[in-house]
Amino acid sequence: DLTDDGVLAEIFAARDVALPNAHPLTVAAPSGTAQPVTNPATGETIGEVIEADKATVEAGLDNARPWTAPAAERAAVLRRVADLYEANYGVLFAILAKEAGKSLLDAVGELREAVDFLRYYAQEGETSPRSPRGIFTAISPWNFPLAIFTGQIAAALMAGNAVLAKPAEQTPIIATKAVELMHEAGVPREVLQLLTGRGATVGAALTSDKRVKGVVFTGSTDTAQRINRTMAEHLEPGTPLIAETGGLNAMIVDSTALSEQAVRDVVASAFQSAGQRCSALRCLYLQEDSAPHVIEMIKGAMDQLTVGNPWDLTTDVGPVIDREARDEIAGYVAQKSNSIMHQIAAPSEGTFVAPTMLKVSGINDLEREIFGPVLHIATFKARDLDKIVAEVNARGFGLTFGLHTRIDDRVQNISEAIHAGNIYVNRNQIGAVVGSQPFGGEGLSGTGPKAGGPLYLPRFFAPEPGLAE
């Protein structure tokens, strides 16, 4: 409750506490090399991570055991994890802000989603008599280092699997804290082990060992494709890869749309979390008649954004995750300097990127997913709508799609024609609600099923004899 001064005081007090270090949490004593962990907003070293070596990964696989406790008991433990997360909000927010550059509001949303995943899968699975697959590898990204990390693990555990979790390189501290809380709540250590380290070493080892019976992955499309090839080569045929990946998300705003609402939703969709959401708006199509007016309004709204320290309650746009990301995004924008329609200032210290609006002729001008605060804008005539839908579909991604219009038939026609896992009408296109609004993409954006929906947990159980998967 951010309206409570006591809660705020506790959160701000947590800011000054030294963060715990990150390391593998395995049954056998882990070994590996130490690497610094950096605060993206300041560039300061905030701790260190021990990256698991080969022997530690091997021992993790050797010691992994499925969770044989009855489903009702597993559910009770997951609910206890949710309670412990809630009780530890101060330290969790502090880590999310310092390690991942999350604003306080983003951190609140992320904790809520993590807790929702735990309680939802507990409820979905508590009476299920089905058996687990065995060992599940869970590989997660840095942009939702608590929510996605927890959601993957909660589903795999609820189904009774042994889990080997590999968090993103950039966010090992939040992963270590989360697994410590899971162990404290009663998840046995041999059932859930954490293997901090690189994708190319630890991640690759955990997706190429025959003992692994399933992989759940969230991250970029390129990495998912690499993992898919590795699994095809090394794992038993039919081993599931549950993948949630990247997107090239578009929104159409026609001239009947309520412009103030549309502009607010465009700005939130493109710039919230510094554009580092897989659901974020990348390519906005504006109908020609109203485009000049709407573009002026977007520029005005961008001018109101505050770019800065995520701890500041007035900050709208925080840093991007690291120097590499900053240089890549800034380099991309520099290459397109002739197309810049608007850009606002960003601090020069830390890894901030100036929110930018670029002119394009359509989604085909976007070479790839730019994972930052960069919004591409194209204009269209009413007669070209079908063409736009076809060109968005032809890119092959299918994560989120937004539409602002007051024409009911248009909502119906476009929603039916567009290939996207999540379609948002007359609202922003970020965000999902565990249980009621599950999230996941099609095509190059994921293999499904949607996280936080009823089809997700069943994929983590062994197939039922005689039933097609």
- What is the dihedral angle through the alpha carbons of 420, 421, 426, 428, rounded to the nearest 10 degrees? -110
Answer yes or no: are the C-beta atoms of 90 and 14 closer than 8 Å. Answer: yes
Considering only residues 358 to 377 of the shown chain, the ones binding ligand NAD according to CB under 6 A are 369, 371
Tell me how far apart the alpha carbons of residues 61 and 333 are, in angstroms, rounded to a whole number: 44
Q: Which of 51, 110, 244, 369 is catalytic?
A: 244
In the complex, the smallest distance separating the C-beta of residue 277 from ligand NAD, rounded to whole angstroms, is 7
How far apart, in Å, are the Cα atoms of 3 and each of 14, 101, 154, 184?
Answer: 17, 22, 30, 30
Amino acid letter for position 348: S
Considering only residues 272 to 291 of the shown chain, the ones binding ligand NAD according to CB under 6 A are 278
The DSSP bridge partners found for residue 448 are none
In the complex, the smallest distance separating the C-beta of residue 412 from ligand NAD, rounded to whole angstroms, is 26
String of contacts with ligand NAD for each residue 320-359, x by CB under 6 A: ----------------------------------------
For residue 244, indicate whether it is catalytic. Answer: yes
Comparing CA positions, the residue from 348, 255, 344, 252 lying closest to residue 301 is 344
Q: Under DSSP, is residue 334 helix (H, G, I), strand (E, B) or coil?
A: helix
Considering only residues 444 to 463 of the shown chain, the ones binding ligand NAD according to CB under 6 A are 445-446
In the complex, the smallest distance separating the C-beta of residue 84 from ligand NAD, rounded to whole angstroms, is 24
Answer for which of 74, 98, 133, 166 binds ligand NAD (CB under 6 A) is 166
In the DSSP assignment, the letter for residue 439 is: B
Answer for which of 56, 152, 245, 429 binds ligand NAD (CB under 6 A) is 245
For residue 278, indicate whether it is catalytic. Answer: yes
Answer for which of 47, 203, 449, 453 binds ligand NAD (CB under 6 A) is 203
- Position 147 contacts ligand NAD (CB under 6 A): no
Q: Shortest Cβ contact with ligand NAD: which residue?
A: 199
- What is the dihedral angle through the alpha carbons of 368, 372, 377, 383, rounded to the nearest 10 degrees? 60
Length of the chain: 469
- Position 431 contacts ligand NAD (CB under 6 A): no
Alpha helices by DSSP H, listed for 101-203, are: 104-125, 147-158, 172-185
- Position 196 contacts ligand NAD (CB under 6 A): no
Tell me how far apart the alpha carbons of residues 133 and 330 are, in angstroms, rounded to a whole number: 44
Nearer to ligand NAD, 166 or 326 (CB): 166
Tell me how far apart the alpha carbons of residues 217 and 223 are, in angstroms, rounded to a whole number: 9
- Which residues are tagged catalytic? 244, 278
Residues in contact with ligand NAD by CB under 6 A are 139-144, 148, 166, 168-169, 199-200, 203-204, 207, 218-220, 223, 226-227, 244-247, 278, 369, 371, 399, 439, 441, 445-446
